[in-house]
A = this chain, B = another copy of it.
Amino acid sequence: MAGNTFGQVFKVTTWGESHGPALGAVIDGCPPRLPLTAADIEAELARRRPGVQAHASPRREPDQVEILSGVFEGFTTGTPISLIIFNRDVRSQDYEALREVFRPGHGDFTFQAKYGIRDHRGGGRASARETVARVAAGAVAQKVLDQEKIQVLAYTLELGGVKARLQDITKIWDNPFFCPDPEAVPAMTARVQEVKALGNSLGGVVEVRVQGCPAGLGEPVFDKLDAALAQAVMSVGAVKGVEIGAGFAAARMLGSEHNDPLTPGGFASNHAGGILAGISNGDEIVLRAAVKPIPSIGIEQQTIDLTGQPRVITVKGRHDISAIPRIVPVIQAMVRLTLTDFLLRQRAIA
């Protein structure tokens, strides 16, 4: 039973392979009468485009989106919104060598184990290219959140061990690392250059903050808002951990330290990260995701082929040094999709 649909009321189904003709998303359950244009979506797609940053993959995709249905004269109609993004800059021959070899850290081995067949070109469905459809759908979701003045902001908190402070959250799109700390940018740049020269790759941490979320979103007991956000964010390829509010630090706190006192003016602290018992409490939602280093590296690695024989490979092709910063708008999109779905879920019983 496949898993390419996200959400229960605002349902997004994505499709497409890295080196197929196109990728896309079908959004079923978008409320009617929202203004929506391709330009709205493309503005978001631009942020996850490879080639924007110096250290990123040189593959260049215009990432133009076409809205094929569900919008009439500039407004959503309540019928399914079909979005398509054609692949234009595909060089599948680069991948011919990988048809029979499993790259370490990639899904090559597990897709083969699961399906008994795989499209090896550029990682197929397991490629980061898949996330373009998530970002496109997230841009539509934001139209719903706009109505409620809910803002979702994601940024780089840490890259290759270089930590950022939360200096200026409004400027994150102004630097190549989507980093809220302009002073950390030179250190990040240096770290990237150093590792790039080695043919190696880097991980990091992305943080998300949601402002304006009303209290009451989240569905006890299994679809708690934090549980759903954890699934949403962990479903992004390179993410290996998710924490809400104090997160893992909460494991070492006392109850008296961790509890957020309630006052007539709101919560006096926010260790909860804006979610109590799985329901938003009206405070800022805060979560962090651990991003692993991307597995495609230019260094020799041990692996096996389809027949189980040992092989040594060096992954060539056009690759990023880190999933950061391109993963930042993807994680942001997943949080948008989650909140939109829970907002509509709450409307059903309110």
Q: What residues make up the interface of A, taking CB atoms closer than 8 Å to B?
A: 1-6, 8-9, 11, 13-17, 20-24, 26, 28-33, 66, 68-70, 72, 75-82, 84, 102, 104-107, 109-111, 113-119, 124-126, 130, 158, 160-161, 195, 200-205, 215-224, 226-228, 230-232, 234-235, 237, 240-264, 268, 271-273, 275-282, 290-297, 299, 301-304, 308-310, 344-350
Contacts and interface: CB of A to CB of B under 8 A. Distances in A.
A4 B296 CA distance: 38
B245 A242 contact: no
5 contacts: A1-B349, A21-B69, A113-B279, A203-B250, A259-B301
Given A6-B222, A301-B259, A290 B247 contact: yes
Most chain B beta-carbon neighbours within 10 Å: one of A4, A255, A280: A255
A242 B230 contact: yes
Contacts of A220: 3-4, 79, 107, 111, 125-126
Nearest to A348: B348
B348 A72 contact: no
A316 to B, nearest CB: 14
A261 B301 contact: yes
Copy tally for this chain in the complex stands at 4
B1 A29 contact: yes
A2 B292 contact: no
B124 A77 contact: yes
Q: Is the interface of A mostly helix, strand, loop or mixed?
A: mixed
B130 A221 contact: yes
A1 B292 contact: no
Nearest to A202: B254
Given A243-B290, A256-B297, A264-B304, 13 more contacts: A4-B80, A16-B82, A17-B79, A205-B248, A223-B235, A230-B242, A231-B231, A231-B234, A250-B293, A257-B293, A264-B309, A264-B310, A344-B348
B105 A255 contact: yes
Contact of A69 (B20, B69, B237, B256): B20
A135 B293 CA distance: 36
Contact of A109 (B195, B234, B281, B299): B281
A313 to B, nearest CB: 10
A212 to B, nearest CB: 15
B276 A15 contact: no
B292 A253 contact: yes
A230 B21 CA distance: 33
Contacts of A234: 224, 226-227, 230-231, 242, 244
Contacts of A17: 69-70, 72, 79
Contacts of A13: 5, 13, 26, 28, 80
A177 B69 CA distance: 32
Contacts of A272: 105
